[in-house]
Structure 1
């Protein structure tokens, strides 16, 4: 199981010993298996005694801690004979630079929605933005349903579409996941990234709605031919994108969206929209990142 064989693709999962990171390992292992990729389990640590400052000593690990975290995470990834090849890596340093370095070679980076001391504030505030806004590969943040211990394994794949190249790539990934999971796909387009003005004329509303329907039809056409077994539902809304996506996430298995868009998803990873999805979605969220040459 620990041999990479002929596999060339790698899914990376960051772990810290928390339940959330263990859930992320299971999700990452499942995806790596069906995508025929190896799984790399990474723990970033600060050794005990590295210095005497309180803030630096918080989250420090002894060698035994590090070994235990990686061994436990690797065991969680071995879910059966069809599991992916698993490797582990310990990295001394700070989480954000270490994980960003891994994205240079990974097909996907997977993180839990919250962590323990090893990743202080991993998905809150500037740390989350640093990882999600600078990663070279797609990043998946694994969240359970509220009140549940594990990520959902039923429901459609929800994808946000605004006509940008990033959302086009997100659409392709969403179809791929929906096809593998044999579930449906819900394509969401929202034209409003500010509070909706209810004093607007109905004619304008209809014009925006018609344009949204046309955009979705154009973007979905080729993908529906490529994935004929995936049932597709289109949603055109006038609410803020984060509200449309958060509502949809209540029943979804996965939300997929591009990190840079225009119109309805402008500035997705630079403000309240990204924070809302990262912190409040009811299912895992996968964010598609620009390739190195596109920056």
Structure 2
């Protein structure tokens, strides 16, 4: 089990679950998920909205923004967004401690900066986007550059009712960011009292799709090597979380395909911010990209502490 610092600000009891809102339906789903998470973690919920006055000035013209009443209207709309989000969060837990913030900053910069001390950051996404950029610049920026754990709430998924019996799924790839994902996944599975499915694909290629290769690993040496990767990355965590039932699933290839399939029957999928073979400058890997675009349940991107600045 990799060593992890215990004194990091996001692990303090005062670290909040943070959620961004822009008044959209997708943001509302994120607020519900975040409120459930804050209740489960016994943490404050911090609801934030960035006004992005610089962008507003570019869109409306500097003169228009300085006209009396225009700036006040922009601020009032932001205040309405966070007030509505707070009211929605209280439908989950009327006693939940909630803090709201309306900032003049760009929302992506605001969330990235706050992610350094937040317990986790939650954002909403809707639809099955065919292009990652269609999910929005804020979502793109925060999932790639955020620190700690960033959750993207997809589709109609929340964390309630029938979803509570579903497992947590984690992508295991032997990388350092894989260590961060495993740590986050065990904690989530333990808090939810649900099984953990550890998924590993030996090859990044979709051989099963492109060449008709079988999903299972037939070569015993390759199978043993794949199992060894999983065993090494999970080592020690079963001792720390003895009540978590872990199921290991090893496939020949296609990590994106395997995790997307598992997302159909999971309440949360957890992956590292950049997997094995990822370029140093690529802050969100191809598997994370695919899940954020197409997963059938919420996705947690676990960034390593090394990325904190």
Distance 1:203 1:181, change over 3 A: closer
By how many angstroms is 1:100 displaced? Answer: 1.0
The answer to whether the aligner puts 1:91 opposite 2:103 as a matched pair is yes
Conserved? CA contact 1:138–1:288, under 8 Å: yes
> CA separation in 2, counterparts of 1:49 and 1:170?
35
Structure 1 runs not aligned, ≥5 long: 1-5, 116-120
By how many angstroms is 1:252 displaced? Answer: 0.3
> CA separation in 1, counterparts of 2:307 and 2:53?
36
Count how many residue pairs are aligned between Structure 1 and Structure 2: 278
Q: Which aligned pairs between 1:1-295 and structure 2 lie closer than 5 A?
A: 7-46=13-52, 50-51=56-57, 53=59, 62-79=74-91, 83-114=95-126, 124=135, 127-144=138-155, 148=156, 150=158, 152-196=163-207, 198=211, 205-262=219-276, 266=278, 269-270=283-284, 272-292=286-306
Distance 1:50 1:132, change over 3 A: closer
Bigger mean CA deviation after superposition, 79-88 or 278-287: 79-88
Task: Indicate the structure with greater helix content.
Answer: 2
> CA separation in 1, counterparts of 2:170 and 2:74?
42
CA deviations over 1:125-155 (Å, ceiling 9, x no partner): 65534222211221000113xxx46454441
Conserved? CA contact 1:139–1:288, under 8 Å: yes
By how many angstroms is 1:40 displaced? Answer: 0.8
Conserved? CA contact 1:9–1:36, under 8 Å: no
By how many angstroms is 1:238 displaced? Answer: 1.8
Q: Tell me the TM-score normalized by structure 2.
A: 0.78
By how many angstroms is 1:10 displaced? Answer: 1.4
By how many angstroms is 1:7 displaced? Answer: 4.5
By how many angstroms is 1:92 displaced? Answer: 1.3
Conserved? CA contact 2:17–2:45, under 8 Å: yes
Bigger mean CA deviation after superposition, 232-241 or 42-51: 42-51
CA deviations over 1:150-183 (Å, ceiling 9, x no partner): 4544410000011222212211221111122111
Distance 1:128 1:81, change over 3 A: closer
> CA separation in 2, counterparts of 1:184 and 1:43?
35
Conserved? CA contact 1:159–1:188, under 8 Å: yes
Question: RMSD of aligned C-alpha atoms?
Answer: 3.4
Conserved? CA contact 1:39–1:87, under 8 Å: yes
Secondary structure, counterpart of 1:87 in structure 2: strand
Distance 1:30 1:270, change over 3 A: closer
Bigger mean CA deviation after superposition, 134-143 or 165-174: 165-174
> Which residue of the partner structure matches residue 3 of structure 2?
none
Structure 2 runs not aligned, ≥5 long: 1-11, 65-70
Q: Tell me the TM-score normalized by structure 1.
A: 0.81
